[in-house]
Amino acid sequence: MQPTIFFLSRCFSPIYNHRSDEYGGLAINRARILVEILKVIRKQMPELHISIKINFHDYMAGGVTPQDAQIACKALVEHGIDYIEISANGTSQTGINPMQNEAYFLDFALELKKAVNIPVILVGGHPSMENMTAILNKTPVEYFSLSRPLIREPDLPKRWQAGDLRPSTCISCNNCYGAPGKRCAYER
Ligand code: SF4
């Protein structure tokens, strides 16, 4: 049998989770499996750093909402999650331009930071060091997660560290998703 992809995301989404018991219905119920997994891991390995990447939106009618995600995140924080990374269903947005429309999940992160006192990791649309630096300096967001810019240029942090602060040359086209090995579809 093939494993269900994004199984836990589907448990949390009312689009996929139609249970009528304590694991379905309200957001706190749909988050129950996440909390229970966290509790078991925490009990077995009290010192382990545990983080979660969680959808703040399904972008589909009847799906996960930011309010649902806030409820889940608060429950996870109560039970000792260390970090939370913001994400959303099916979203690697295209057409990202440096200093124009970067960090497309920033609003979700800012709302979450008002509700929890643990670090929040912001993924999604970070081609430029300049914009991440501005977010670091002006908001409570402490951490960033990069994907496509690192697929395009695995040595990007090294380049930035060496002082070459030009934005990533990733054009956020998403063609790497269909490329063998999820590599960038274009020559460097
Ligand atoms: S194919 Fe290359 S340029 Fe396009 S999103 Fe992927 S890494 Fe970026």
Instruction: Report yes or no: 74 and 116 within 8 Å, Cβ to Cβ.
Output: yes
Other beta carbons within 10 angstroms of residue 80's beta carbon come to: 16
Domain contains 142: yes
Domain contains 79: yes
Q: Is the Cβ atom of 96 under 6 angstroms away from ligand 1? A: no
Domain span at 116: 49-182
pLDDT of residue 140: 96
Question: Distance, CA 132 to ligand 1 centroid (Å)?
Answer: 19
Domain contains 136: yes
181 band by pLDDT with thresholds 50, 70 and 90: confident
User: How far is Cα 7 from Cα 5, in angstroms, rounded to an integer?
Assistant: 5
Angle subtended at Cα 110 by Cα 81 and Cα 142, rounded to the nearest 5 degrees: 60
Find the CATH number of the domain harbouring 112: 3.20.20.70
Report the number of distinct structural domains present in the chain.
Answer: 1
Q: Is the Cβ atom of 151 under 6 angstroms away from ligand 1? A: yes
Residue 166 has pLDDT above 60, yes or no: yes
pLDDT of residue 2: 58
Q: What pLDDT, in 10s, does the model give residues 89-116? A: 877 889 998 989 999 999 999 999 999 9
Q: Is the Cβ atom of 150 under 6 angstroms away from ligand 1? A: no
Domain contains 18: no
Section 51-59 average pLDDT: 96
pTM, full prediction: 0.91
| Residue (of 130, 119, 64) closest to 91 by Cα position | 64
Domain contains 33: no
- Using only C-alpha atoms, the chain has a radius of gyration, in whole angstroms, of 18
Structure tokens at 104: 């497309």
Domain contains 6: no
Instruction: Report yes or no: 115 and 153 within 8 Å, Cβ to Cβ.
Output: no
Q: Whose CA is nearest to atom 4 of ligand 1?
A: 173
Question: Distance, CA 173 to ligand 1 centroid (Å)?
Answer: 5
Domain contains 35: no
